[in-house]
Amino acid sequence: MELQFFQKDIDEQGFELLYLPVLEDINAIKAWISFLGYEDEKELFGRLQKEKFSGKAGQLFVIHSQDLAVVLAGCGAKEKFSQENWRELTAYLVKFLKTYQVNKVALIAKTWLKGTSDISLLAKTIAESWHLTNYSFNQYKKSDTDKIELVVIDLGIELELGKKRDFKTAWEQGLLFASSTILARDLVNEPASIMTPSFLAETALKISKANPQIKAKILDKEQVEKLGMGAFLGIDQGSEEPLKFIHLIYQPKTKAKEKIALVGKGITFDSGGLNIKVGDGMTDMKIDMAGAATVLGVFSVLTDLKIKAEVHGIIAACENMPSGKAIKPGDVVKNMQGKSIEIGNTDAEGRVTLADALAYAQKQKVDTIVDLATLTGACIVALGSSYAALYVNQENLAKDLLKAANTSGEKIWRMPLAPEYKELNKSNVADVRNIASARGGGSITAALFLQEFIVGDTAWAHLDIAGPAYAEKPLNAYTPIGGVGFGVRTLLEWLSLK
């Protein structure tokens, strides 16, 4: 699809469809229709009433015509209008275009700008949502009858000449935000028999090969043993699939002021281990590497986005399987810091692998660590499937991440690292236990477990993404069922401000 810019006289540009966002204001809507100069204006006003089109968010009003069809898209009230409306408006357009197959579509930039003049933000947001909405995972379908291809060849944008470059640059950025999210979605959607620790490692290597500024180190079991990662090894030991410890290092072109580690939970299948999952608890557990997928998605575009920080991507990838060799409840393992962990339940495996991944991250002498993990079902009980839980040991980091999430539209809710619950993770035989001794607050106690492995003054944030990593029903207008790629865009927003 090509971007085309024009300044006026839409009639003369050969477009087939004009998509026009309108606020919830019936007089303004009527004024637009008058401006478009239809002979049957009265009839159209009558149809507005009949279809109860008032410009509410999500409503569409289609005016068919021989040469240029016009779609009025409701934006709701001006006071409530936000960047998220741009994503939704774009998603409705893409969906509309799948039923109304046209090659040449036009937008008028100023009709999208309800109370802002930020053309770059508009361009980036439309590009991002366009591609995210158009995503589908249909690799394994012989023929996908649900899939209708977009046939848009030209997307025309009416814009002042001087703003053309800004628009194009921001559009490219939006594409990067989308492609990185889509990589993460693909990785999450892939079945676990394909999406093995080795597959994750190969993906990391591919990213490194395509980016001279990214180096990849892949450690195998022997190297992990040498590093003393007893916690990671303990979780892996029931599986037939070889484990991989993945370490990506991105170096910016100019000397970095900050060193950051992104750590992703990389359990490529969580059966629960000997504490095997029951009922349909195991069904979607191929998604237990969603944190790792997010880290890889982010890495795929760090170079193109010219991120200024040094970024480390760290993933302890393995399966959690039952077998004669599997770790047993009551076993004690030691992570590479020498801290001992009693395994109270083999299904609380993510935090155990993270104990080593977080320790390794600190060995890289980073200033800040952000980990992402589909860590607890309790998080879904607490916040539902739209929100990730955010735990942070430093106020500024919390503020920055929440700000980034606000821009990306990803929903993140801060939760407490409640010191009074710390004792719930106490063990009688080891330094700490991987399940808490009380039922409630399971996402909090899991976060507190991770905090046990953060030493010194490293700024650390933990995102429990168990809820929004995977959408059982569409998460929003631009996120279909399946892997969400949750966290990619928020982390990219955050890193862009470094």
Distance, in Å, from the CA atom of 42 to the CA atom of 301, rounded to the nearest integer, reads 51
Measured N-to-C along each axis, helices 442-451 and 350-363 cross at an angle, to the nearest 10 degrees, of 30
- Helix then strand then coil, in percent of the chain rounded to 5, is 40, 20, 40
Round to whole Å and give the CA distance between 74 and 53.
8
As measured in angstroms, the least distance from the Cβ of 443 to ligand BES is 8
Instruction: Please pick, among 95, 259, 277, 414, the residue that the annotation labels catalytic.
Output: 277
CA within 13 Å, CB half, 411: 14
351 is catalytic: yes
Residue tagged active-site, from 351, 411, 433, 489:
351
Which of 111, 203, 335, 374 forms a contact with ligand BES (CB under 6 A)?
A: 374
Residue 292 interacts with ligand BES (CB under 6 A)?
no
Active site residue 426: no
Question: Could you tell me how many residues of this chain bind Zn ion (CB under 5 A)?
Answer: 6
Please count the other Cβ atoms lying within 10 Å of the Cβ belonging to residue 395: 9
Residue from 73, 243, 326, 378 touching ligand BES (CB under 6 A): that is 378
Neighbours of 42 (CB within 10 A): 9
Residue nearest to ligand BES (CB): 377
Residue placing its CB nearer to Zn ion in the complex, 282 or 332:
282
- Other Cβ atoms within 10 Å of 384 Cβ, number: 12
Q: Exactly one of 190, 236, 347, 464 binds Zn ion (CB under 5 A); which one?
A: 347
CB of 375 to ligand BES, least distance (A): 6
**Residue 88 contacts ligand BES per CB under 6 A:** no
Q: Where does this chain touch ligand BES (CB under 6 A) — which range of 7-15, 329-337, 348-356, 357-365?
A: 348-356
Q: 107: Cβ–Cβ under 8 A, 6 or more apart, which residues?
A: 18, 19, 126, 155, 156, 157, 158
Indicate whether 158 belongs to the interface with ligand BES (CB under 6 A): no
> 322: exposed, middle or buried (C-beta count within 10 Å: 0-12, 13-18, 19+)?
middle
Among ligand BES, Zn ion, none, residue 345 binds (CB under 5-8 Å by kind): ligand BES
Distances (CA, A) of 401 to 262, 275, 397: 13, 35, 6
Q: How far is the CB of 405 from Zn ion (least distance, A)?
A: 23
Residue 288 in contact with ligand BES, rule: CB under 6 A = yes
In the block, residue with structure tokens 């860590």? 375
Nearer to ligand BES, 172 or 284 (CB): 284
x/- map, 308-347, ligand BES, by CB under 6 A: -------------------------------------x-x
Binding interface with ligand BES (CB under 6 A): 270, 288, 345, 347-350, 374-378, 435, 442, 466
